[in-house]
Amino acid sequence: MKDFHARFIAFAIEHQVIRFGSFKTKAGRVSPYFFNAGLFNTGASLHALSEFYADAILASGISFDFLFGPAYKGIPLAAAIAIALAQRGRDTPFCFNRKEAKDHGEGGALVGANPVGRALIVDDVISAGTSVRESVALLQAAGATPVGVVTALDRMERGSTPLSAAQEVTAHFGMPVFSIATLDHLMDYLAQDPALAGERQRMTEYRARYGEGISSSAD
């Protein structure tokens, strides 16, 4: 586990972005933890989050020409990450989409930098992969080439198949999906604190049932 993985998890727990308890997911599963990136809702927390994204992006070694933030959560993320990268000497263009195409003024569905070259899609999480599919279609229609997706947390949880949402995106589009942290990193972090042993045990049981690579017969 790299230093920024552990620091991000500690930061997310401190800000109650990661919470432990009993939470019902969209899939109807009862999860022992919940991740709500919407709680990074102050200037200081968004700035810190953007730095973690920059850490993950630079550590990945991925080659890209601009950032794309899908509406709505991806918009402030793309802007903040571009600032964080610029502060590290990499001035990166970014753009985002409107939910509805504008039919006056400059028009179009995309706002910001001209989407030329290789696009790195930034988002908070991948659930069913719907946002990624929409982003890929928009970028390709604009003549750009999507080359990857970066998110805050990969729950490493299967969807309708034994693959996780991130793995399904990679399998379908042939591009990598990486995150600031994953469920593996979270569980490693919990293992270091005896006070969190109970939370880790509940997460271990949940993962044994719903983790990526687990057959749906486990339901």
Q: What is the DSSP string of 5-53?
A: HHHHHHHHHHTTSEEEEEEE-TTS-EEEEEE-GGG--SHHHHHHHHHHH
Greater confidence (83 vs 159) lies with: 83
Has residue 204 got a pLDDT over 50?
Answer: yes
What token pair was written down for 14?
Answer: 């401190």
What token pair was written down for 59?
Answer: 């550590």
pLDDT at 219: 47
Which phi and psi (to 5°) does residue 111 adopt?
-130, 140
Which amino acid, one-letter code, is at 214? I
96 Rama sector, left if φ>0, alpha if ψ -120 to 50, beta otherwise: beta
pLDDT at 109: 84
Q: Which stretches of 14-122 are assigned E, i.e. beta strand?
A: 18-24, 30-35, 66-69, 94-102, 108-112, 118-122
pLDDT at 131: 84
Measure the CA–CA gap between 152 and 125, rounded to whole angstroms: 6
pLDDT at 180: 97
Q: How many helices (H) and strands (E) does the chain have?
A: 7, 8
The answer to whether 73 is a known catalytic residue is: no
Has residue 72 got a pLDDT over 80?
Answer: yes
The answer to whether 102 is a known catalytic residue is: yes
pLDDT at 129: 73
Has residue 67 got a pLDDT over 50?
Answer: yes
Catalytic hit among 2, 24, 47, 102: 102
Which phi and psi (to 5°) does residue 5 adopt?
-60, -50
pLDDT at 159: 76
pLDDT at 216: 53
Catalytic hit among 15, 104, 172, 185: 104
What token pair was written down for 217?
Answer: 């017969």
Greater confidence (196 vs 131) lies with: 196
Q: What is the set of domains in the chain, with CATH numbers?
A: 3-218 (3.40.50.2020)
List, for residues 39-61, the tens digit of each pLDDT value: 999 999 999 999 999 999 999 99
Has residue 179 got a pLDDT over 50?
Answer: yes
User: Pairing relation of β-strands 118-122 and 108-112?
Assistant: unpaired
* pTM of the complete model: 0.90
Measure the CA–CA gap between 155 and 166, rounded to whole angstroms: 9
